Amino acid sequence: MPTADSLAAPESLGEPWFSTGSFARAVIVAVPAILLMGGLVARIAGSTDTNPWYQSLSLPVFQPPGPLFGIAWAILYTLIGVAFAMVWGTKAVPGKRLAIALFAVGFAINLTWSPVFFRLHMISAALGIIAVMLLVAIATTWSFWRVNRLAGWLMLPYLAWLCFAGALNIAIMMLNPMADAMQLGI
């Protein structure tokens, strides 16, 4: 006859973290929310090929085609969303709250870059945002790694992309010194 102890939740039986259902619920909430917020902010900021200011800039030779950015960000937002869901869906472990807080701060910073660059035309300020974003993303990756190793691994493409985005931002700033609203005092 089953006892109350034998009917315990799967987490207490030593089953994998993903078998509890918490991960699935977290993914269903986190990934679409992150994709929606990222896409909405990018769209409102005017980070598309139709932005006349952006089209007037001299772009570096290693600048990818415009549509690639949307694809890259969709993949990156999905990866970091799944990583976040892995941490969020994990039972209480040391460092979980810090990892979630770092992710929230980093994602909020991420959402500021497009409006600053594309809407306000502040190229140098956008570079500063990328630098802070990268530092927070490194801390987040380390915190995720401590909670769930796979979540940490899933953050690595995001770190690589932030480095690439920083290089693009620097190149655009160097090629277009008179296009930076901060430099012009606007």
d(CA 123, CA 113): 10
pTM, two decimals, is 0.83
C-alpha distances in angstroms, 145 versus 138, 148, 152, 155?
Answer: 10, 5, 4, 9
Reduced DSSP (H G I as helix, E B as strand, rest coil) percent helix, strand, coil of the chain, to 5: 75, 0, 25
- Asked whether the beta carbons of 137 and 106 are under 8 A apart, the reply is yes
**pLDDT tens figures, 137-178:** 999 999 999 999 999 999 999 999 999 999 999 999 999 999
d(CA 107, CA 105): 6
**pLDDT tens figures, 77-131:** 999 999 999 999 888 889 999 999 999 999 999 999 999 999 999 999 999 999 9
C-alpha distances in angstroms, 5 versus 1, 2, 12, 27?
Answer: 11, 8, 9, 29
| Residue found by looking up tokens 């941490």 in the block | 87
Domains and CATH numbers, the chain: 19-48+64-184 (1.20.1260)
